[in-house]
């Protein structure tokens, strides 16, 4: 049973106590509509219910969150923001800069959140020293997810580099197994390309190209080789991949209809929802050639300026999301790692334990880097430009890696 600690209970006293006139409802905008995502969100809902708070769901389907951000923009513009919204990186900073977020700094200081959340994430929760959002998890995109039975059928072993990965996909193809489950949507293709770039050029190259936006790196032969490697993987997908949702691609691996999916660790939530066990039914490895690095994104709850009668619910949600009990309960289901660095990995499966260990190690040695595809390396305009070039290349509208690199440089320079 999930039990809230004294920290969450203390939220009410911090907010001055729930008053009779307080609105005891949390209105939450999010895009967690797959089975695993919905199950994880229930942990938060149930924890709030025990404190007497109701839940008004505002789900907006769409794995990358683009549609949800459009809905959020309309609600904020209309002066009717939700209690909180799921949000990614630079979107939160935009709302903070516009003065739309609430100031939950006293709550953050009371609970010493700055001491337990990686500094890299605090860049997105805090503007000018003021907290306006909290991270409920840490995801990373440089993972591959493999059906274990299919792996054994083809006699495969863990690929340690890109060449071994291609050799593994070849084995699957020759055995009549769909090698690579891909959802042909721009954000999914760009998410896979993040890993390919880090694998092809190494983490320092990834940083130079996507964090520093160094033009010499963006137009380098290494970036061209990254696009060439993307083209190689395209040869291993089934013909029906265009437009496929990410969780349907995950389902192909869960059912053994495909060998592997390249996807962030939110995919593990789908395996869990299908009652599949890590190490027994499926295998998780870092994208070949990227072990030791973590290309992260984090799901944050951004808190908007709301009327006084809604602030107690907002405070309760913020403190509940950051409680160790909810961080464990939520992330063991969601497939992610806790955003807090002070949480034991005892409740997590083998993939979760690796995620937690990898994050701590990468955070210590400087290889904990934001995913460009997931809006943690650059603002949305640059990420959108990146999506556009990558998806055009995947779908054949850009014919060569030379042309892809030229268009990538032009698109990013235009979006800056």
The dihedral formed by the CA atoms of 94, 98, 103 and 104, expressed in degrees to the nearest 10: -10
Q: What is the DSSP string of 76-140?
A: HHTT---SEEEE-HHHHHHHHHTT-B---HHHHHHTTHHHHS-HHHHHHHEETTEE-EEE--BEE
Whether the CB-CB separation of 227 and 190 falls below 8 Å is answered with no
Q: Report the run of H or E that residue 303 belongs to, with start and end.
A: strand 300-303
Q: Tell whether pTM > 0.75.
A: yes
What per-residue confidence (pLDDT) applies to 34? 86
**Token pair of 54 as six digits:** 């109701």
Tell me which residue of 15, 186, 197, 198 sits closest to 102, measured CA to CA. 15
- Per-residue confidence of the chain (416 residues) as pLDDT tens digits? 333 333 333 333 334 444 557 899 999 999 998 888 899 999 999 999 999 999 999 999 876 688 999 999 999 999 999 999 999 889 999 999 999 999 999 999 999 999 999 999 999 999 999 999 999 999 999 999 999 999 999 999 999 999 999 999 999 999 999 999 999 999 999 999 999 999 999 999 999 999 999 999 999 999 999 999 999 999 999 999 999 999 999 999 999 999 999 999 999 999 999 999 999 999 999 999 999 999 999 999 999 999 999 999 999 999 999 999 999 999 999 999 999 999 999 999 999 999 999 999 999 999 999 999 998 999 989 999 999 999 999 999 999 999 999 999 999 999 99
What per-residue confidence (pLDDT) applies to 4? 35
Query: For residue 118, with 0-12 CB atoms within 10 Å meaning exposed, 13-18 middle and 19 or more buried, which class applies?
Result: buried
Tell me which residue of 355, 337, 156, 144 sits closest to 250, measured CA to CA. 144
Measure CA of the first residue to CA of the last residue in the chain; give whole Å.
48
What per-residue confidence (pLDDT) applies to 63? 65
What per-residue confidence (pLDDT) applies to 15? 44
Q: Report the run of H or E that residue 147 belongs to, with start and end.
A: strand 143-147
Q: Would you tell me the crossing angle of helices 221-234 and 380-394 to the nearest 10 degrees?
A: 60
Alpha-carbon span 289 to 351, nearest angstrom: 18
């Amino acid at each position: 049973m999930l039990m809230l600690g004294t920290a969450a209970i203390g939220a009410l006293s911090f907010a001055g106590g729930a008053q009779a006139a307080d609105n005891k409802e949390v209105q939450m905008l999010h895009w967690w509509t797959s089975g695993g995502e919905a199950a994880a969100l229930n942990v938060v809902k149930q924890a709030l219910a025990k404190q007497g708070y109701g839940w008004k769901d505002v789900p907006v389907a769409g794995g990358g969150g683009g549609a949800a951000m459009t809905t959020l923009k309309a609600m904020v513009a209309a002066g009717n923001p939700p209690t909180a919204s799921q949000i990614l990186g630079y979107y939160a900073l935009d709302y903070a800069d516009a003065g739309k977020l609430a100031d939950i700094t006293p709550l953050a200081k009371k609970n010493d959140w700055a001491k337990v959340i990686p500094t890299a994430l605090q860049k997105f929760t805090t503007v000018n020293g003021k907290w306006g959002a909290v991270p409920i998890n840490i995801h990373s995109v440089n993972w591959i997810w493999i059906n274990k039975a299919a792996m054994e059928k083809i006699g495969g072993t863990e690929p340690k580099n890109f060449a071994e990965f291609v050799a593994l996909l070849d084995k699957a193809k020759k055995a009549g197994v769909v090698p690579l489950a891909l959802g042909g949507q721009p954000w999914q293709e760009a998410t896979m390309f993040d890993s390919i770039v880090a694998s092809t050029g190494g983490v320092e190259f990834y940083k130079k190209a996507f964090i520093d936006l160094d033009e010499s790196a963006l137009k380098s032969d290494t970036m061209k080789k990254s696009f060439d490697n993307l083209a190689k993987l395209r040869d291993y997908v089934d013909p029906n991949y265009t437009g496929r949702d990410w969780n349907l691609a995950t389902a192909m691996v869960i059912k053994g209809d495909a060998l592997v999916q390249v996807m962030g660790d939110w995919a593990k939530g789908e395996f869990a929802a299908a009652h599949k066990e890590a190490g027994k039914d499926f295998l998780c490895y870092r994208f070949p050639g990227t072990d030791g690095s973590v290309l992260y994104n984090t799901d944050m709850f951004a808190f908007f300026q709301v009327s006084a009668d809604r602030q107690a619910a907002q405070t309760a949600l913020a403190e509940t999301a950051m409680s160790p009990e909810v961080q464990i309960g939520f992330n063991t289901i969601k497939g992610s790692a806790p955003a807090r660095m002070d949480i034991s990995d005892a409740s997590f499966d083998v993939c979760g334990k690796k995620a937690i260990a990898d994050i701590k190690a990468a955070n210590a040695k400087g290889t904990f880097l934001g995913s460009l595809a997931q809006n943690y390396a650059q603002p949305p305009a640059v990420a959108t430009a990146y999506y556009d070039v990558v998806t055009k290349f995947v779908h054949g509208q850009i014919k060569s890696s030379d042309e892809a690199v030229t268009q990538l440089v032009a698109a990013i320079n235009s979006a800056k």
